[in-house]
Amino acid sequence: MRRLFALLVLAASCSDPVRDQRIAELGDETATGPGPDHRPGQDCLLCHSPGGPASDTPFAAAGTVYTTPTGDDGASGIEVRFIDAAGRGPVDKVVTTKSGNFYVPAGSWKVTFPFRVGLYKGKDELVAPMISTVNREASCNYCHRNDDVPSSLSKEERTRRFYGQIYAGAPQ
Amino acid sequence: MKRTVAVLVAILLVSCVKQTELEYEFPDEKGFVDNSVSLFMERRCGSMDCHGQVGRPLRIYSQRGLRLDAKGGRNGETTAEERKANYISVIGLEPEELTIARRSKGNYVDFMLFKKPLGEEGLGVKHKGGPVLAPSKTDPGWECLRSWVFDTADKAECEKAASALDPPSP
């Protein structure tokens, strides 16, 4: 009995309550179920990283590109290019799926922070460079989000605090 | 008896006044802004996934993260007001410790501004972003901070630190 109790305590201490709560707040799975197009706009690496419920498919980086700053339509076929502080990027080309999602499998890129990102269309048309570097957080939607921004904030306050979602178009 | 109470009250009042008379001594604001200490921290610490967000105790404002206001839009250049706010953030982190460090002329390094960026791995303290500086003369970021805290900010080291690890656009 004592052993069982000790095991339970150990198991409980292994989980990360902050992460668990953030995952719970993501809500239900999308209708299509897990796959490249599920849960667009959400913080991908919450689950797809060591210790997460999708740790069997870990990502080096991931996110979602939309067609407009505030709409829900994903931008498909956009190439997402990365370059990190060591001058490297993913081994394989990264292109958004029909939902606008993109992801870099962990095995494709050993990231040396910080890194930069640019969105390209066609062969080499740069449609949206990122001004800032990414210094720590490889889940792009962690910063680029609209869904959990408090609606009580004024437009100016939103602009001041948040980048908004990633979209494949000129700044507005 | 009344006289004793009066004397005690007087002593108490004097001791209270003494408590509030602590004089701070901070590294200078001009050096922080003009010699690129702020620029270094904006680039290396101030992205939105790190200290460029309202939830962090040490807030850093810049074009690359949190804005002080939205007058210049999301992507306008970092403003003078933002750099002043960065200075206030940094000196306000541990004002007493920073004062002791400034007066120590290089001997006192046991405070958060120095320990956090080293992370536990670098014999500092736990830093969510891991070790981002090394306590070495070969790390321009470390030299930038040290020179500013203890003497005059070394602009060359700060600029080197600001652009170090900054990858080109992909």
Predicted complex ipTM: 0.79
On the 0-12 / 13-18 / 19+ scale of CB atoms within 10 A, A4 is: exposed
In this prediction, residue A172 carries a pLDDT of 45
Cα distances from B74 to residues A153, A158, A161, B27, B68, in angstroms, run 16, 10, 9, 30, 10
Phi/psi at B121 (nearest 5 deg)?
A: -65, -30
Interface check for A121 against chain B (CB to CB < 8 A): the answer is no
Ranges of residues in chain B whose predicted pLDDT is under 70: 1-22
Q: Which among B45, B74, B167 has the least Cβ separation from residue A116?
A: B167
Alpha carbon of B103: minimum distance to chain A alpha carbons (Å): 33
Task: Compute the count of residue pairs across chains A and B with CB atoms less than 8 Å apart.
Answer: 83
- Which amino acid, residue A12? A
B-chain residues near A128 (CB < 8 A): none
Distance from chain centroid for Cα A110: 16
B170/A116 touch (CB, cutoff 8 Å), yes or no: yes
Within 13 Å and on the Cβ side, how many CA atoms surround A106?
Answer: 12
Nearest chain A alpha carbon to B127: A136
Nearest chain B alpha carbon to A115: B167
For residue range A82-123, what is the model confidence (pLDDT) as tens digits? 999 999 999 999 999 999 999 999 999 999 999 999 999 988
Quickly state the pLDDT bin for A3 (edges 50, 70, 90): low
Query: Which phi-psi region, left, alpha or beta, contains residue B36 (left: φ > 0; alpha: ψ -120 to 50)?
Result: left
Q: Cβ contacts of residue A156 below 8 Å, gap of 6+?
A: B69, B70
Interface check for A89 against chain B (CB to CB < 8 A): the answer is yes
Nearest chain A alpha carbon to B66: A161
In this prediction, residue B72 carries a pLDDT of 80
Q: Are A112 and A82 in contact (CB under 8 A)?
A: no
Q: What does the alpha-carbon distance between residue A94 and residue A65 come to, in Å, rounded to a whole number?
A: 12
Instruction: Determine the number of helices (DSSP H) and then strands (DSSP E) in chain B.
Output: 8, 0
- B28-37 per-residue burial string, b: 16 or more CB within 10 A, e: under 16: ebebbbebbb
A134/B47 touch (CB, cutoff 8 Å), yes or no: yes
- Report chain B's C-alpha Rg in angstroms: 20
Q: What does the alpha-carbon distance between residue B60 and residue B51 come to, in Å, rounded to a whole number?
A: 6
Greatest mean pLDDT among A46-50, A131-135, B53-57: A46-50
Q: What is the mean pLDDT of chain A?
A: 88
Alpha carbon of A31: minimum distance to chain B alpha carbons (Å): 30
In this prediction, residue A16 carries a pLDDT of 86
Nearest chain A alpha carbon to B48: A143
DSSP state of A103: E
Q: What does the alpha-carbon distance between residue A127 and residue A81 come to, in Å, rounded to a whole number?
A: 11
Q: What does the alpha-carbon distance between residue A53 and residue A168 come to, in Å, rounded to a whole number?
A: 30
Alpha carbon of A12: minimum distance to chain B alpha carbons (Å): 22
Q: Which among B49, B70, B167 has the least Cβ separation from residue A156?
A: B70
Phi/psi at B13 (nearest 5 deg)?
A: -65, -45
Under DSSP, is residue A118 helix (H, G, I), strand (E, B) or coil? Answer: strand
The residue ranking higher by pLDDT, A156 or B43, is B43
N-terminal to C-terminal alpha carbon distance within chain B: 82
Cα distances from A93 to residues A39, A96, A105, B36, B119, in angstroms, run 22, 10, 11, 37, 34
Sheet containing A79-84, strands listed edge to edge, beginning at the edge strand earlier in sequence: A79-84, A115-121, A125-129
In this prediction, residue A78 carries a pLDDT of 96
| Numbered residues of chain B with Cβ closer than 8 Å to any chain A Cβ | 43-45, 47-50, 52-54, 63-70, 73-75, 128-130, 165-170
Q: Which among A85, A143, A159 has the least Cβ separation from residue B165?
A: A85
- Look at the block and give the residue holding tokens 């939902």: A99
A82/B166 touch (CB, cutoff 8 Å), yes or no: no
A114/B63 touch (CB, cutoff 8 Å), yes or no: no
In this prediction, residue A170 carries a pLDDT of 58
B-chain residues near A162 (CB < 8 A): 48
Phi/psi at B22 (nearest 5 deg)?
A: -60, 125
